[in-house]
Amino acid sequence: MFEIKKLKYNSVLISARSTEVLSKTFIRFQEYYEGPKYKGKIFTLGQVKEWYSNKFGADTYYRDWSGYNFPSWVLEPFRKGLFDPLTKEETIILELFKYRFDNFYIIGANDKETIRHELAHALYSYNLNYKKSIDSFCEKYKKELSKLSNHLIKKGYHKDVVNDEIQAYVTDNDDEFIIKNIDGEIIKKINQIYKKYK
């Protein structure tokens, strides 16, 4: 069902036969980690799907998202049985990591471009100096980045992870919204920070 591969920044890549399978697997882990409605909360699959349908007009979660990422501590409430009942896919993920209790990062993606984006999140989590540099930059250029911050929140991210999302989306170098709405110098400077640490 899944392919597992160790990547840099102490991360693990999980790939699946389709984006839909990946989405079914990661939906509750991801929403618990950084979702605007359910970050840090216990919820059912039905609740998150109903909320998503109401917010975005349809239950298209499995088609809308192609990449996932979260630090290993997100597994804990699932291991403790707080997300009972677990889905078949969630049970498989917990089984995969049942002997790992270190701090690592989990990525879900099926293609190179998405893996590259998700690895930027792993770097942000893994390298404290990179995180500090990005956070300081985002604070310094808060006004210039406000349009992008608002765009990411509307897209479905919690405000607490906006800096992490900014660095991942900007360093992709292919997001149309960023290219059209963010000053080229800002993009260049974020990419310089990324290149220094990657």
Q: How far apart are CA 75 and CA 68, in angstroms?
A: 14
Q: What is the pLDDT of residue 19?
A: 94
Cβ atoms of 167 and 134 within 8 Å: the answer is: yes
Q: What is the pLDDT of residue 114?
A: 94
Cβ atoms of 167 and 132 within 8 Å: the answer is: no
Q: How far apart are CA 168 and CA 157, in angstroms?
A: 13
Residues of the chain predicted below pLDDT 50: none
Whether the model clears a pTM of 0.85, i.e. scores above it, the answer is yes
Q: What is the pLDDT of residue 3?
A: 96
Q: What is the pLDDT of residue 185?
A: 96
